[in-house]
Amino acid sequence: MDSYKKKISLISHPGNEIKDHKTTTSEITVEESGLIDTISIKITVEHGWLHDLIIILTSPNGKEVELRRHVGVDNREHPHYR
């Protein structure tokens, strides 16, 4: 079996407001097929209470990987707030 590495960059700008006590989703479709060896995900979020957020990556077959759960500082004044 031949193997090769290919870097694919995909960006989503859903523009959805993250509302309290609601689910907000953003979807990216990958047209390529193959096995994933390494994945890197960058998420930029604006929300007043970052500690409230749970971020989950869901594969097409429904497998979920939790990327973030209740991590951060609940303070818009924090220097790393975005």
Q: What percent of the chain has pLDDT over 70?
A: 82
Average pLDDT, the chain: 76
Domain-embedded: residue 71: yes
3-state secondary structure of 11: coil
pLDDT at res. 82: 47
Full domain range(s) for residue 65: 43-82
| Distance in angstroms (rounded) separating the CA atoms of residues 43 and 55 | 9
Domain-embedded: residue 25: no
The arithmetic mean of pLDDT across residues 36-48, rounded, is 79
The arithmetic mean of pLDDT across residues 13-38, rounded, is 80
Domain-embedded: residue 4: no
Total domains in the fold of the chain: 1
pTM of this prediction? 0.63
Domain-embedded: residue 6: no
Contacts of 68 by beta carbon, 8 Å cutoff, 6+ apart:
43, 53, 54, 55
The arithmetic mean of pLDDT across residues 34-51, rounded, is 79
The arithmetic mean of pLDDT across residues 68-81, rounded, is 59
